[in-house]
Amino acid sequence: MTVIDTNVLVAALRSASGASHELMRRAFIGDFELALSVPLYLEYVSVLTRPGLLPLSFDDAVTFCSAVASIARHHKIHYLWRPLLPDPKDDLVLELAVASQSLHIVTHNVGDFRPSLAFNIKAVKPAEFLLSL
């Protein structure tokens, strides 16, 4: 089980040649299992539908988020670990990783997730995660 930070989705949709795009392609073909919660899904939609952020229409961004949700295993969060990380929005990523018993959080902000090691969850960049597949 793996949690994908929102910044990885942004990078995947901005460039078809990067590790983030390849990571999402591999997720859609089932090479690994994604974990998702309602709060993280809402974060995905909120960020990916910001005007001018991506070369996608609002509807295409929502469709992409729905597609991600359709391949992910959904988890309810029963315990909040807040505040634990420097960015409060990252706490919902860590809470999902703990609840789903994920081994990895894939993010471009690895340093922000150092406290995840206390839960035996390793924060890795997309390229590093791809090497582990």
Domains of the chain: which residue ranges?
2-132
Q: At residue 69, does pLDDT exceed 90?
A: yes
Confidence band for 83, pLDDT divided at 50, 70 and 90: confident
Is the per-residue pLDDT at 81 higher than 80? no
DSSP notation for 2-23 = EEE-HHHHHHHHH-TTSHHHHH
Q: How many CA atoms lie within 13 A of 87 on its CB side?
A: 13
d(CA 98, CA 119): 7
- C-alpha dihedral sign at 89, 91, 96, 97: positive
Per-residue model confidence (pLDDT) at position 32: 97
Q: For residue 49, is pLDDT > 90?
A: yes
pTM of the model: 0.95
- For domain 2-132, the CATH architecture is 3-Layer(aba) Sandwich (3.40)
Q: What's the rounded mean pLDDT across residues 35-45? A: 97
Which residues in 83-95 are b (16+ Cβ under 10 Å) and which e? ebbeeeebbbbbb
